[in-house]
Amino acid sequence: MSRLNALLFFCVLVAPLSACSTFGAWRKCGFGGCPGDKQITTQVEAALRQTPGIGYWNVDVQSLDGVVYLHGLVDTNPERTRIEEVAAQASGGRKIVDSIEVRKRY
């Protein structure tokens, strides 16, 4: 089974997962993203840069089909929560997929 067929098979069986919705948005919009995605990403990044007390440089922001994806590492759970709140406000209430990890302290 080819990789594309395997991915499509997986998406049919597990359609609610975000990976499948991301694949669907990619098929809809292509590599350049959907109209407005770049503007959403720019707005969220600007809002995070202007928010004191968060380590924005450790967070990557991407938008696809109006959904904002956050990836990266932060030091504390409150910082993670604050980043998600700022992203939600800056994106106009769009859906936020938060994949930010909190660094483990040993």
Residue 98: closest CA among 63, 58, 79, 71: 71
| Per-residue pLDDT at 27 | 60
Tokens matching residue 46: 């600007």
Give the per-residue pLDDT at 97.
95
Residue 66: predicted pLDDT: 86
Residue 62 confidence (pLDDT) above 60: yes
- C-beta atoms surrounding 101 within 10 Å: 12
φ/ψ of residue 64, rounded to 5: -145, 120
| Structural domains of the chain, with CATH | 1-31 (no CATH), 32-106 (3.30.1340.30)
Residues facing residue 98 across a β-bridge? 70
pLDDT score of 93: 79
Query: pLDDT at residue 92 above 60?
Result: yes
Pairing between β-strand 59-64 and β-strand 67-74 as defined by DSSP bridges: antiparallel
Per-residue pLDDT at 79: 92
